Amino acid sequence: MVSKNTQSRIDEILDVTEDHMRRGGFDAVSFRDIASAVGIKSSSVHYHFPHKSDLGKAVIERYAEEFIQALNSGDVAEDTVQVKIQRLGNAYVGALSDKGTICLGCILGAELSSLPADVSDAVQAFFDQLLAWTAAALGGDKDHLEQAEFIISSFQGAMVLSVTKKDPKILSRCADRLCNSYL
């Protein structure tokens, strides 16, 4: 049983870590930086997350849970395919405009081969959930899985391009193009 204060401190640590990680990847996170941003010592971060991979895994798992939950909020069963994919696009646009940082899955996916095994496993699990949700939204048979791969790819890539070109509208236009022209 964890006290209320402990949980909020853990949340603080995860918040700061996610922010750093979304800006510069896994290596951009250091125990010292996280600790000083939270207002504690690095050893206290180690107390909650013994190894750096524990920290990375916890962040990506929390991110995945929140992301999928956002997709399922509202009356999903009643929505048309277009509305569902628009909802997916909104989740991406929201993630970008929220803090001006890209999707955690995207940056960690890009550097997957240099991540600790637990972290890369969690990243792969995130993409599996995302693909499964999208394929189900499209209908659910085999071609829909491949279509889901294409849609997720486009969103992920558009997010990187938006940040690189410093133009968030690239992602919005990508979402519109997927919904209006492609589907």
- Which positions touch DNA (CB under 7 A)? 1-3, 5-6, 9, 29-33, 35, 39-44, 46-48, 50-53
Q: Which two tokens stand for residue 100?
A: 């001006």
In degrees, rounded to 5, the angle at the alpha carbon of residue 73 between the alpha carbons of residues 146 and 89 is 45
Does 106 bind a second copy (CB under 8 A)? Our answer is yes
Binding partner selected for residue 156 from a second copy, DNA, none, CB under the kind-specific 5 to 8 Å limit: a second copy
- By C-beta, is 51 or 177 nearer to DNA? 51
How far is residue 67's CA from residue 34's CA, in Å, rounded to a whole number? 23
Q: 41 vs 169, which CB is nearer to a second copy?
A: 169
Quick one: what does residue 124 bind among DNA, a second copy, none, with the CB cut-off 5 to 8 Å set by partner type? Answer: a second copy
CB of 178 closer than 8 Å to CB of 89: yes
Count of beta carbons in the 10 Å neighbourhood of residue 7 = 10
Total residues interacting with a second copy, rule: CB under 8 A: 38
Q: Which does 30 bind (CB under 5 to 8 A by kind): a second copy, DNA, none?
A: DNA
- Tokens coding 172: 């919005």
- What does 50 bind: a second copy, DNA, none (CB cut-off 5 to 8 Å by kind)? DNA
Q: Which residues of 119-149 are buried (b: 16+ CB within 10 A; e: fewer)?
A: bbebbeebbebbbebbbebbeeeeebbebbe
Residue 133 touches a second copy, criterion: CB under 8 A? no
Tokens of 170: 């690239």
Q: Which does 47 bind (CB under 5 to 8 A by kind): DNA, a second copy, none?
A: DNA
User: How far is Cα 12 from Cα 35, in angstroms, rounded to an integer?
Assistant: 10
Name the residues that contact a second copy, by CB under 8 A.
23-25, 27-28, 101-102, 106-107, 109-114, 123-124, 127, 146, 149-150, 152-158, 160-161, 163-165, 170, 173-174, 177, 182
